[in-house]
Amino acid sequence: MTKVLYIGGSGEISAACVEHSLSLGHEVSVFNRGNQPIDGVRNIKGDVYKPNPYQTLADKSFDVVCQFLAFDTKTVKEDLDFFSSRCKQYIFISTASAYEKPCQYHVITEQTPLSNPFWEYSRKKIACEKLLVEQSSVPFTIVRPSHTYRHRLPGAVIDGNHQTWRLLNNKPVVVHGDGQSIWTLTHAADFARAFCCLFLNNKAFGCAFHITDDQAHTWDKLILSSAKVLGLAAELVHVSSERLVYHQPMWQGPLLGDKSNSMMFDNRRLKQVIGDWQCEVGLENGLQQAGQVVLDHLSKGYEPDKKLDELIDRIVEENRFQPTCA
């Protein structure tokens, strides 16, 4: 029986991976702050960001350690020091936003250079990858998810819950650029099936992989499809990414460093290692599943950030009838 430790385990992606591990018969442990205990696993309470976080794991060992909560080299260094004699494979969750921006080529492979001048988050993940590649104490695998969803609808400029709230309240939705940039949306259940195939797979050691759907869609289609599964109409207001960043500088990373770049992913390396995997959850079905969860969440008294919503209203009024460049 494969012994797997998930550091994280309750997020949009990691929760699906935990569930799939259990379905495969893995002996699963989950290390996190313990706010959401998970049935069927060994729940280990701890905080990866505090000193000596893994004291409760000192007498334990694992076949695979899946690190979903490392966002800087300090955390990865601590992991390598601690798990070097306690695991057979360390899987680091990086990000597809690490691939070079602006994109020179819209089809992304694992050999695409890593560089993102727009987003510190991505640069920190790149530094973590570099640290792993340069060490030899722990066999490792790097996974770079792109936009992966299960219980959230895709948000263009604001998060999906806020965006859905605006749709429900007949308020326009802001979309970056002209809405025609290409984006890949991957369901977490499909991600999890591929992810678990990397466990103790010798062909995956020392390698990086992205795990994404082979299909891509325009941002307009994603938002309109999200509205459709909810039985809602959507008024889209298109605004250039640069102008949006002018209004709110914190959008620079997510927009200029990620969503405004048309990208499709070549998954051939992954399939060469794990076999003939492909996504099974179609866009409409996945959005319907996520939509029901979002509606249930919003019905429990959700309120958006008032200042942010007012900013969106101002942007809408300034740009509602203006032509838009990508």
Asked if the structure places residue 289 within a domain, the reply is yes
Judge whether 277 lies within some domain: no
The owner of tokens 């340069």 is 134
Cβ atoms of residues 265 and 212 within 8 Å: yes
Q: Do 100 and 231 sit in the same domain of this protein?
A: no
Does 114 fall in a domain? yes
192 in a domain, yes or no?
yes
Cis amide leading into 102 (omega within 30)? yes
Angle, alpha carbons 313-283-69 (nearest 5°)? 75
CATH number at residue 74: 3.40.50.720
- 17 and 36 assigned to the same domain: yes
Q: Are residues 177 and 199 in the same domain?
A: no
Distance, CA of 116 to CA of 113 (rounded, Å)? 10
In a domain, 154, yes or no: no
pLDDT recorded at residue 36 = 84
The predicted structure's pLDDT at residue 326: 46
Based on the fold, state whether residues 15 and 98 are members of the same structural domain.
yes
179 & 65 share domain: no
Residue 115 structural domain:
3-149+185-211
The C-alpha atoms of residue 113 and residue 118 are separated, in whole angstroms, by 15
pLDDT, averaged across the chain: 95
Within 64-184, residue ranges assigned H as helices are 73-83, 120-134, 160-168
Is there a single domain that holds both residue 189 and residue 232?
no
Q: Which residues pair with 217 in a beta bridge?
A: 183
Same domain, 56 and 204: yes
pLDDT per residue over 92-128, tens digit each?
Answer: 999 999 999 998 888 999 999 999 999 999 999 999 9
Q: Are residues 224 and 198 in the same domain?
A: no
**Domain annotation covers residue 296:** yes
User: Which DSSP symbol is given to 136?
Assistant: -
Characterize 185-221 residue by residue with b for buried, 16 or more Cβ atoms within 10 angstroms of its Cβ, and e for exposed.
bbbbbbbbbbbbbbbeeeebeebbbbbbbeebbbbbb
In this prediction, the residues of the chain whose per-residue pLDDT falls under 70 are: 322-326
Judge contact between 47 and 60, C-beta under 8 A.
no
Residues 145 and 248 in one domain: no
Do the domain assignments include residue 269? no
Tell me the C-alpha distance between 46 and 48, whole Å: 6
Domain count, the chain: 2
Looking at the structure, do residues 192 and 254 belong to the same domain, yes or no? no
**Residue ranges in the chain assigned as alpha helix (H):** 14-23, 73-83, 120-134, 160-168, 188-196, 219-229, 241-247, 268-274, 283-298, 306-319
Nearest to 294 by CA among 148, 93, 155: 155
Give yes or no: residues 142 and 178 share one domain: no
In the beta sheet, which residues pair with residue 176?
239
pLDDT of residue 34: 84
The model's pTM: 0.95
Let me know if residue 267 belongs to a domain. Answer: no
Which of 133, 48, 5, 138 lies closest to 84 in space, CA to CA?
138
Cβ neighbours of residue 278 closer than 8 Å, sequence gap 6 or more: 214
Distance between CA 234 and CA 249 in Å, rounded?
26
Please name every residue paired with 10 in a beta bridge, in sequence order, or none if there are none. none
Same domain, 165 and 192: no
pLDDT at 74: 96
